[in-house]
Amino acid sequence: MVTIALDPAMYHADLTVVQELQKAADLGYEYLELSPRPDWFFWHRYPKADDQAIVEVKRAMRETGVRIKTLVPVFNWSSPDEQERRFQVRNWRRLLQIAHELELDLVNSELSGDPNRALQSEHAFYLSMEELTPDFERYGIALNLEAHPYDFSETNDDAVQIVRGLNLPWVNYVFCAPHAFHLSQGAGDVERMIAYAGDKLTHVHLADCYNHLANVGNRYIINPPGVDARIHQHNEIGHGDLDWDATFSALRAANFDGVATVCVFGWEENADDIHRRMLERVKAELA
């Protein structure tokens, strides 16, 4: 059975995690996927959640009936700079302690690293995983990984191969729909990508996006032309270029029964309505 989770990113600026749990309950969600926020864990920085914060959130989970399903740290554990890599491994160790104290059995993250030094980043990633595997296994925490735009690996097939290369049954793949055109170099062939991930696909992120390579690259414009950057969106379903009939059909054909996270960003003024509509659509398609 598919587990539907809410990424509460659009509420981070105004609500505490305790309040986000109540918000999720009000919207009809049973699970949260907690994304980076400064008072808990933030991009590439040492986690800040302390014992008091954890106790308060565990109490709120009991009171609201909404549980945190997973945390989404983004640490540059694939940095080609060895000192930075070691610091990021330390960040991971504290994050896993927090996840364990929250009684979680899953976290998900990104490959990170540097796309301009892809091979060195891959070496660093596998080294970090060697060092962290005993921690994951001691706590009994599984890991789902995605390729994010500007990671050292940015395409679906390569990322799936990297995950398979670990040869660890508790490490699996996240297919991130709002990255679909980056993952496929503009093809957007979601059915093929989902099929390629096969039994490693245990997690999906659901939001819409535009094809950055459509209209000779002018679907949106960045300046100066050719700048070393990646732009993508996390829009409500139907506000982008993805073929959602094909996406949901492919997930059903794959008998997908993992975590499906609603992760729309950047539309805070309509967040509640968007999240209700997204939940209704995902339930209709996958539940």
Confidence (pLDDT) at 28:
98
Q: How confident is the model at residue 214 (pLDDT cuts 50, 70, 90)?
A: low
CA dist 75 and 42 (Å) reads 8
Note the pLDDT tens digit of each residue in 22-48: 999 999 999 999 999 999 999 999 999
Q: What is the dihedral of CA 130, 132, 138, 142, to 10 degrees?
A: -100
b vs e for 163-193, b when ≥16 Cβ sit within 10 Å of the residue's Cβ? bbebeeebbbbbbbbbbbbbbbeeebbbbeb
Confidence (pLDDT) at 150:
78
CA dist 7 and 66 (Å) reads 13
- Average pLDDT estimate for 6-25: 98
Q: How many CB atoms lie within 10 A of CB 104?
A: 20
Closest CA to 73 of 33, 104, 22, 118: 33
Q: Which residues contact 249 (CB under 8 A, 6 or more apart)?
A: 191
Q: What is the dihedral of CA 284, 181, 13, 19, to 10 degrees?
A: 30
Confidence (pLDDT) at 218:
66
pTM above 0.85, yes or no: yes
At 259, is the secondary structure helix, strand, or coil? Answer: strand
- Cα dihedral 186, 192, 196, 201 sign: positive
What average pLDDT does the structure give for the chain?
A: 94
Please report which helix (H) or strand (E) contains residue 131, including its range. helix 118-139
CA dist 259 and 250 (Å) reads 15
Domains and CATH numbers, the chain: 3-286 (3.20.20.150)
| Token pair belonging to 233 | 């969106």
Q: Which residues contact 93 (CB under 8 A, 6 or more apart)?
A: 132, 135
Note the pLDDT tens digit of each residue in 223-234: 777 777 777 878
Note the pLDDT tens digit of each residue in 134-181: 999 999 999 999 999 979 999 999 999 999 999 999 999 999 999 998
Note the pLDDT tens digit of each residue in 245-279: 999 999 999 999 999 999 999 888 999 999 999 99
Confidence (pLDDT) at 173:
98
At 262, is the secondary structure helix, strand, or coil? Answer: strand
Omega prior to 73 cis, within 30 of 0: no
DSSP state at residue 208:
B
203 pLDDT exceeds 90?
Answer: yes
Confidence (pLDDT) at 210:
82
Confidence (pLDDT) at 159:
98
Note the pLDDT tens digit of each residue in 94-149: 999 999 999 999 999 999 999 999 999 999 999 999 999 999 999 999 999 999 99
Note the pLDDT tens digit of each residue in 58-73: 999 999 999 999 999 9
216 pLDDT exceeds 70?
Answer: no
- Average pLDDT estimate for 193-209: 96
Looking at per-residue pLDDT, the higher value among 174 and 212 belongs to 174
Note the pLDDT tens digit of each residue in 141-152: 999 999 999 799
